Amino acid sequence: MRSMREQHNKRPLFGKILTQKGIITDNQLAGALRIQKERLFLYGEPVYLGQLIVELGFASEQEVVNAVSEHYKISVSSLSENIEELIEKKSRTALKRITNVRIPIWIQLSVAMTAIIILTVSPFSFLILSQQKQELYEQTVNTGIISLNYFTYNARILLVEDNISGLNSLIKEVVSVKGLVFAIITDNRKIIKAHTDISKIDLPLDTRHYPNNVNSKENVSYFTGMTPSGEHVLHLSRPITFQGRKLGQAYVGVSIDFINRLTREKAIFIIISTSVITLFGILVSVILGLRLSMPVGELAEATREIGRGNYLYKVNMRRNDELGDLGRAFDKMGRELWSKMLMEKSFGKYVGSEVLRMIMANLENTWLKGTRTEATIIFSDIRGFTAFSEANEPEEVVDRINQYFDIAASVIHEHGGFIDKFIGDAVLAVFGAPVYRQNHIECAVKAASDMQKKLKSASRNGNHLLAAIGISIHSGILVSGNIGSSERMEYTVIGDTVNMASRMNGFAGPGEIIISKTIYEHMGGKIETEPLPPRPVKGKTGTYEFFRVLRHLN
């Protein structure tokens, strides 16, 4: 919550808006502010300036509202609204829009690369340039000292002899050295005895432009100055002595413009080099950014497609790096989601992995259309289920039958079968479709034997229904595929083979397995059976031979 002082400090700004728009005068604003302060002092509660101006009759509420709305670009209907909150909300919204601006990766990398180059290469380069400049300056000082030492050594005898001609000849010899601008010899009274400008001979040396504090090295004083022509010169001076007695002073000037020129040339080279490196870095950043952003965009599009249910959308990212691994993992995820969806929607949770592999390998084929195939049918049913369901509560009936379905589904799936459907208390399973198995008959017989063993064992836990399952097995030609309407489809098997397996199930007692003659002839001596008397089958003419399995297969 804002303090009263904070609120009060914002009022003059509000009043200034009204005066600028000509709604109130400066005198009216001053009067309103005075009354506002008095009420704040007397009552301890702030009074909003806009409301006070309307209350004093200086302006109408609509005029004040319009002025505020126009200035701050907000929608205000009355002064009773929290105008400050609306203003701050608009500011936060504008700031949010700015901070939420989408900046592509390649631009971010380009800016980062440019900043890195400028902040590393440039300071390092100019640091080296500064060191080189200092080294050149020190080298020039040493060169000047050597020249000055030679100069003073040869000038001392001439100065003792007051040989003006000889001194000037020496000066001409010294200044012939490249880089030396001037040379001067003075006596102890600083009267010029020799000078590169002969017009200044016998005149006092003007040292007014010489600084008070100069550097010194090896009895040589030096400083940097500028000639009237604008040339930068290193001034060096040294006393001329002979046998411990000072005879005068020698001065030389060495041009140092070449240092500035070399430094300038190097600086230009550094700037050009840095610019070229920066442009190259930006180019590399753009390429890397695009190589990163394009796959990310593809992955984002793939995510949207997966979200729409298009699980077979392919990223097809052919890259031998982490993004390629991510793309391949994304494709794999899509296939797995498709498999899961297909399992749940097309076959239910008891579909085997072989069926799913066949579907994934033949997505464009007609595997779901009606296909004639040879397969084996298992039909299992609970004997006495109707009486049990009438005598017990529905919850108990469902619990008991679900135990039976769990065991049956697990065993059938384990042996490579496919559960076509649950029909009341019956289970219809297929071996050899939709995945064809050459040994579908053996798989079905083993599954039936294993099922009866596990059902009998589980029945000892109190569910006696598990010991009352009759199983029938028949093999032959049937039709498998999607059957239904455009609104609802179901994968199933139909045909005389299916009907026969269902009808012959009535001949199986609790815990028994009944097989058809087709199964018996195929199995040969692999199972121990006993023949049943030939019996008629509903819907068919004549009688049929069936066999009861006596010994279950291991």
Q: Which of 261, 296, 327 lies at the terminal end of a domain, its last residue?
A: 261
The answer to whether residue 335 sits within a structural domain is no
pLDDT band of residue 155 (cuts 50, 70, 90) is confident
> Span 224-232, mean pLDDT?
81
Given strand 220-226, what is the order of strands in its sheet? 192-195, 180-187, 245-255, 232-242, 220-226, 215-217
What's the domain range around 30? 4-99
Q: Which of 40, 66, 99 lies at the terminal end of a domain, its last residue?
A: 99
Query: CB neighbours (10 Å) of residue 346?
Result: 16
For residues 335 and 399, the answer to whether their CB atoms sit within 8 Å is no
> Span 462-475, mean pLDDT?
94
Distances (CA, A) of 400 to 169, 397, 452, 458: 131, 5, 16, 11
Both 127 and 254 in one domain: the answer is: yes
Strand ranges, E, within 451-494: 469-484, 489-494
Higher pLDDT, 357 or 461: 461
Q: Which of 274, 315, 318, 255 is nearest to 122 (CA)?
A: 274
Q: Per-residue pLDDT for 441 more than 60?
A: yes
Q: Which of 486, 496, 493 is nearest to 516 (CA)?
A: 496
Both 500 and 448 in one domain: the answer is: yes
- pLDDT tens-digit series, residues 181-205: 888 889 888 898 888 888 888 899 8
For residues 192 and 201, the answer to whether their CB atoms sit within 8 Å is yes
Angle CA 526–504–346, to nearest 5: 90
Say how far apart CA 315 and CA 303 lie, in whole Å: 10
Q: Which of 261, 293, 318 lies at the terminal end of a domain, its last residue?
A: 261
Both 481 and 382 in one domain: the answer is: yes
Say how far apart CA 177 and CA 147 lie, in whole Å: 9
Name the most confidently modeled range: 204-208, 258-262, 437-441. 437-441
Both 84 and 144 in one domain: the answer is: no
Range of lowest pLDDT (59-73, 232-246, 403-417, 434-448) = 59-73
Query: CB neighbours (10 Å) of residue 29?
Result: 21
N-term to C-term CA, the chain? 83
Say how far apart CA 306 and CA 312 lie, in whole Å: 8
Question: What is the tally of structural domains in the chain?
Answer: 3
pLDDT band of residue 7 (cuts 50, 70, 90) is very low
Looking at residue 368, what DSSP letter applies? T
Both 44 and 132 in one domain: the answer is: no
Both 78 and 165 in one domain: the answer is: no
Q: Which of 278, 337, 281 is nearest to 305 (CA)?
A: 337
Both 31 and 155 in one domain: the answer is: no
> Span 413-421, mean pLDDT?
89
Q: Identify the pLDDT of residue 381.
A: 94
Q: Identify the pLDDT of residue 337.
A: 80
Phi-psi sector, 244: left (phi>0), alpha (psi -120 to 50), beta: left
pLDDT band of residue 290 (cuts 50, 70, 90) is confident
- pLDDT tens-digit series, residues 328-386: 887 888 788 877 776 656 554 544 555 555 555 555 454 556 788 899 999 999 999 98
Higher pLDDT, 526 or 74: 526
Both 65 and 131 in one domain: the answer is: no
Average pLDDT, the chain: 80
Both 153 and 240 in one domain: the answer is: yes
Which string of b and e fits 307-333 if b means at least 16 CB within 10 Å?
eeeebebebebeeeeebeebbeebbee
- pLDDT tens-digit series, residues 510-545: 999 999 999 999 987 788 999 999 999 988 888 999
The answer to whether residue 112 sits within a structural domain is no
For residues 181 and 227, the answer to whether their CB atoms sit within 8 Å is yes
Say how far apart CA 427 and CA 444 lie, in whole Å: 13
Say how far apart CA 391 and CA 551 lie, in whole Å: 34
Both 547 and 432 in one domain: the answer is: yes
Higher pLDDT, 319 or 428: 428
Q: Which two tokens stand for residue 365?
A: 């084929």
Strands 513-516 and 546-551 turn out to be: antiparallel
Both 81 and 152 in one domain: the answer is: no
